[in-house]
A and B are shown apart, each in its own frame.
Chain A
């Protein structure tokens, strides 16, 4: 019983501490986010609009390539362009969060090494900008392609995806702290993962043998859930339960590791 209570408490803490940090340290999180936007856009003509313009340009590029040049047809189902957009934007969001998370501690070390900087805000700082940028891009793209009802459903997609990838973010941050090579390898691994996930192609184009192994790829589950959620397709509950299971399985261990690592971070950097 005690073990269950402890586990429950850890589960709550693993969400309450990192996700509650923006509320407890609202000014600091806003400051860090503004700093990051300024660092990315200072000296540019469009300034703070760039973070939103960039995914917009990506969407336009995909539209031109697959909607105009290749004129990828609908094959009786959703158009390929629509399929690509609804999968690609969440993927880009996830990819950006995980890639950056490997350098989470080093990026901010100058701020916390010798000051009472609250380390628990760091994960949320990583999530805010991709959340706003790709969340907005996905909602607008869905509105353009599928209408208002689907766009309203799209509002929750990126927040749910980010919530799901929180344990992965914590793990990547811990591994990236101790194994610096991980930061170099991860983008390559993510690219590989993108190719084995039905993002750039319909899932039924995969050979039957490969399709049988797709249950091992949670990203494939995410794609299935997103597409079903935003269109009228049947929700693949197996995928949904698998995602929930993986999330629950990783949540406490990743939080424990991250929490233990926090005790060492100031000594290490």
Chain B
């Protein structure tokens, strides 16, 4: 076991609620509890080694954010002991400690001071912080005049330039959009490559599994699973599927009348790869809503994209979702070892074929992802590319007709 950098020993967090305001005052005066507790996190014992990347998964209200806030020091433990050896920086509520009346420059120094940096250390980091945030002309203005994007960029830049030993990330591996999103993703990857300890909480199970060394599954404030990502994520996915079977949302139809998938507004950014168009054909017929026969038709997904030369070639992923929203199947160029190419105009195209489309009867929806070269950072997600209404002549059960053979002796 490597040197532990974080140790939680019976750490719990409960939030107090009081029937009357005066009860809180009386509790402080007398030291006698007069509140009702809501346990956000049950006593938790955990040891994290230096350099580990820990993923935290769980439904909303499972205690993930509370755990991250405890580690970040923005809430205090109710019981137990928490020891952290090293500087913690959190990408939680970016800009939360900014003083609106102070300039960007002063807020850099203030936030760094809160993080425990000395003045010379902040002096040293200042230029890099400003350069990364990309707002040098605004540093002398009060942050109350900043747009939310500028605030977030400055806060992210500070959080990742204070030389933390432990980085806490809530939900997103990147912040902002366009070029900054890619840069922020690269910055986080630098931390991972430098052997820093990372706590990453996300609903994106794919990213958690791809990035983390160990996964912690929280449910109702308790650890429900802990260990190797593949094992815990599988167990958690099954749990989610059981839950969604009870409260399954109705499948949403691909409502657009256009035959090509609509491209979101974000794709107008010309500095990062973007999806130009997605077409779905069944036996060569282009449409948004298809009706097809199981195991009989050829389904083709054509993704036209644009990728600038200054970034590594992106990858493409296609996901098929069932009517209940669960992932049924997926295919990715990274996973299949396909290298994309672009022409002189930096545009390219890739076609994914599903011969004799093997899914059984049901309603399916296709989604397309344009991802970074590692398949982690999402440049663009195109939802509901097409709807496939699969009919079936045979009497097979389930959702897929697996390639199979019978041997009779």
Contact = CB atoms under 8 A, between A and B. Distances in A.
B28 A111 contact: no
Interface in A253-269: 257, 260-261, 263-264, 266-268
27 contacts: A25-B116, A26-B118, A27-B112, A28-B110, A28-B113, A31-B106, A32-B110, A35-B99, A35-B106, A38-B106, A110-B99, A111-B114, A113-B96, A114-B93, A114-B96, A115-B93, A115-B97, A115-B114, A116-B88, A116-B114, A118-B114, A174-B28, A178-B21, A260-B27, A264-B24, A267-B16, A268-B24
A30 interface: yes
Interface string B291-302: 000000000000
B15 A267 contact: yes
Interface of A: 25-28, 30-32, 35, 38-39, 110-118, 174, 178, 257, 260-261, 263-264, 266-268
A230 B362 CA distance: 94
A39 B28 contact: no
A254 to B, nearest CB: 12
Given A25-B113, A116-B73, 19 more contacts: A27-B117, A28-B113, A28-B114, A31-B106, A35-B106, A110-B99, A110-B100, A111-B110, A114-B74, A114-B96, A114-B97, A116-B114, A118-B114, A257-B28, A260-B27, A260-B28, A260-B31, A267-B15, A267-B16
B119 interface: yes
Contacts of B29: 257
A113 B99 CA distance: 11
Top-7 shortest CB links A-B: A115-B97, A116-B73, A114-B96, A28-B113, A27-B113, A260-B28, A31-B113
B122 A27 contact: yes
Nearest to A117: B114
Nearest to B92: A114
Binding site of B, secondary structure by majority: helix, strand, loop or mixed?
mixed
Contact of A115 (B74, B76, B106): B74
B364 interface: no
Nearest to A28: B113
Nearest to B119: A27
Contacts of B116: 25
A261 B28 contact: yes
Contacts of B102: 35
Given A31-B109, A111-B97, A115-B114, A266 B28 contact: no
B72 interface: yes
A263 B15 CA distance: 11
Contacts of A35: 99, 102, 106, 110
A32 B99 CA distance: 11
A113 B114 CA distance: 13
Interface residues of B, number: 36
Contacts of A257: 28-29
B240 interface: no
Contacts of A266: 74-76
A55 to B, nearest CB: 25
A111 B143 CA distance: 13
B99 A111 contact: yes
Nearest to B101: A39
Contacts of A27: 109, 112-113, 117-119, 122
A133 to B, nearest CB: 22
Interface string B333-361: 00000000000000000000000000000
Given A27-B122, A174-B28, A267-B15, A116 B113 contact: no
Interface of B: 15-16, 21, 24-25, 27-29, 31, 72-76, 88, 90, 93, 96-97, 99-102, 106, 109-119, 122
A113 B16 CA distance: 16
Contacts of B96: 113-115
A264 B78 CA distance: 12
A263 to B, nearest CB: 7
A26 B113 CA distance: 8
A1 B76 CA distance: 31
A263 B76 contact: yes
A178 B25 contact: yes
Given A31-B110, A35-B106, A35-B110, A116 B72 contact: yes
A35 B98 CA distance: 13
Nearest to A268: B24
Contacts of B74: 114-116, 266
Contacts of B31: 260
Listed residue (A27, A111, A178, A257) with the most chain B CB atoms within 10 angstroms of its CB? A27
Contacts of A30: 113, 119
Most buried by A among B102, B114, B117: B114
Contacts of B113: 25, 27-28, 30-31
Contacts of A31: 106, 109-110, 113
Nearest to B72: A116
A116 B114 CA distance: 7
A38 B105 CA distance: 14
A178 B25 CA distance: 7
A113 B119 CA distance: 24
A39 B100 CA distance: 12
Contacts of B111: 115
Contacts of B15: 267
Contacts of A112: 97
